[in-house]
Chain A
Amino acid sequence: MSSLIYWLRRKKWILAGIGAPALVAAWWAFRPEKLWVNVKVNEPAPFDSSAAPLYTGLLIGKAHPTSGRASIYQAPDGKRELRLTDFITSNGPDVHVLLAQGDDENLRQEFVKGELKGLELGLLRANQGDQNYDLPDSADLSRYDAVVIYCERFHAVFGVAKLDKF
């Protein structure tokens, strides 16, 4: 063993001959420089995407089975509206549509203790089907980033949709 090391020490080019390709192979496999190099692209949509929503999210049922999609659209005049599609929830008394803060602890539970902090969008028009609700111009969607189907009478969270940028 020691004679082998001695021999290798004398013939350093053998080490270099093995080491260099090994280094190249390791570089090729891991491409470590890519950790710092970003490749940015900015392709336009290959079609007219002006009708796309600003935000969208899926409704998840809490106190009552609720499903469907909540999307926020902006009209050319700047007016924003919430649109519910494929929507279904259970019917109930005094059920409202609200915008709330997604990180609100109250939304993790089925029932709210005290008052739910949110922006009122109106009484739920129907417990099934596509429907639209106007947003107040002042609504700050970076703060109020969740749609809640909320029964005011029993403080029950029927369903919640966390909105994400489209």
Chain B
Amino acid sequence: MLLKTDIVLAIVGLALAFGSRPAAIAQDNRAKTLETGVFHGKVHQTSGRATIYQEADGKLVLRLTNFKTSNGPDVHVILIAAKDADDDANFLKSNTKRVELGKLKGNEGDQNYEVPANTDLNKFQTVSIYCERFNANFGAAPLEKF
């Protein structure tokens, strides 16, 4: 009986010791700036900055700042496996590999997008604001090491 309570206490103790650890790390709120670049796009007037951060827990976040583009139907934020992209480029036609980050939250203003954990940033070097309906690149930001 005594042994049983000891084991339970030991498990609870271990759980407290290790369980509280990730919380402590999460509180350290600093993020590393990995890459940054500015948007260009004349046809659909896209401007602003795209920056990829690595949070303390390793998660990658894309943040758009001073951002502005034209509104449109079914516009997404994607990463493409290219050094840069032309205005109105069609990535379906050019068979450019992409990583979907989500639907564009707003055509103006600061916004954050989670980048999938296994994304190879050496390969996916450009952020594109991409209209899926017409397969047209509204604007692109080639990323450079910060």
Contact = CB atoms under 8 A, between A and B. Distances in A.
Do the two chains belong together in a single complex? yes
Nearest to A51: B30
B105 interface: yes
Contacts of B144: 58, 69
Contact of A38 (B49, B56, B107, B145): B107
B36 A56 contact: yes
A46 B55 contact: yes
A69 B145 CA distance: 9
Given A30-B73, A58-B144, A40 B66 contact: no
Contact of B71 (A37, A48, A69, A85): A37
Given A38-B108, A42-B110, A43-B105, A29 B73 contact: yes
Contacts of B19: none
A165 B71 CA distance: 23
Contact of A40 (B36, B65, B106): B106
Contacts of A166: 36, 49, 51, 65
B interface majority secondary structure: strand
Contact of A165 (B29, B49, B72, B109): B49
Interface string A28-66: 111100110111111111111101100010100000000
B73 A31 contact: yes
Given A48-B31, A58-B144, A29 B133 contact: yes
Contacts of A134: none
Contacts of B145: 69, 86
B119 interface: no
Contact of A34 (B38, B72, B146): B72
A140 interface: no
Nearest to B61: A46
Interface residues of A, number: 29
A43 B33 contact: no
A41 B108 contact: yes
Contacts of A42: 109-110
A39 B49 contact: no
B126 to A, nearest CB: 15
B29 A41 contact: no
A164 interface: yes
Contacts of B146: 56, 69, 85
Contacts of A40: 106-109
Nearest to B109: A41
A51 B144 CA distance: 19
Contacts of A34: 71-73
A42 B51 CA distance: 16
A70 to B, nearest CB: 12
17 contacts: A28-B73, A29-B73, A30-B73, A37-B71, A38-B71, A39-B108, A40-B107, A41-B108, A41-B110, A41-B111, A43-B110, A45-B63, A45-B110, A47-B61, A58-B144, A69-B144, A85-B146
